[in-house]
Amino acid sequence: MDLFFSKNIKKEKQILSLDESKHCLLSLRKKINDKIWLTEGDGVLYSADICSIKNKKIEYNNLQIISKKINSPKIHIAIAPTKNKSRFEWFLEKATEIGVDEISPLICKNSERKIINETRCVKILIAAMKQAQNSILPKLNKPIVFADFFKKRKKNIYIAHCYDTEKINFKNILFNKKKKKENITILIGPEGDFTTSEIMLSEKMGGTSINLSDNRLRTETAAILASSIAKTIL
């Protein structure tokens, strides 16, 4: 199954973008009358036929809905971008493959990186979605300062940190969760960890301090393990 991304499948003019058309024609050597699969990244998977190629762009017809996918519950990872860009990009790829729904780059006191290249990050997410034959593209939010994060979100927030305070094992929390279908948010700190005031703020706002492993995990590993644990149990 060769999956392509389009922002405007439901629009009247059924045309693939130049990038997607290139991938389809040059890398995968598709031709007129070949079948392709399409998604807007919203969980809906379509099939269509290539009917013509104009100005290097593919036009398609016979659009049909093949399936609709909804992740329930949804997993939102709020993560401090790593100092080393490629580690954050690895996280984006793996999170898409595993099936994370939403990603918020989190700007913390100890963050060494406070900006991300959004265009590049979205490209990585789309490539991973296509490769994984997943019809859900994680929503990438704008970077947000730690304290502001709690202005909108109040419920089912878990904060993973390395301080030796009272923490609950994340998998035990999820195993004991009565309403397993509630969406959850997991906060993952930067290389220097959250500060104690950030943890106190999170707890004041209803966040729960969690422990993911006996080992000290890198930022991107913690995020992928937390996503995997949630996917396994919920």
Listed ranges 12-20, 119-127, 179-187, 210-218: which one lies at the site for a copy of itself (CB under 8 A): 210-218
Q: How many residues does the chain have?
A: 234
DSSP readout, 39-102? E-SBSEEEEEEEEEEETTEEEEEEEEEEEE---SS-EEEEEPPPSSHHHHHHHHHHHHHHT--E
Q: Are strands 57-68 and 44-54 parallel, antiparallel or unpaired?
A: antiparallel
State the number of binding residues for a copy of itself (CB under 8 A).
26
184 binds a copy of itself (CB under 8 A): no
Of 73-81, 131-139, 148-156, 176-184, which segment contacts a copy of itself by CB under 8 A? 131-139
What does the alpha-carbon distance between residue 176 and residue 16 come to, in Å, rounded to a whole number?
A: 46
Residue reference for tokens 């004041």: 204
122 binds a copy of itself (CB under 8 A): no
Q: Is residue 144 a contact point for a copy of itself (CB under 8 A)?
A: no
CB atoms within 10 A of CB 58: 27
Nearer to a copy of itself, 187 or 229 (CB): 229
Q: How far is the CB of 67 from a copy of itself (least distance, A)?
A: 10
103 touching a copy of itself, by CB under 8 A: no
Sites of contact with a copy of itself (CB under 8 A)? 69, 90, 93-94, 97-99, 131-134, 171, 213-218, 221, 224-225, 228-229, 231-233
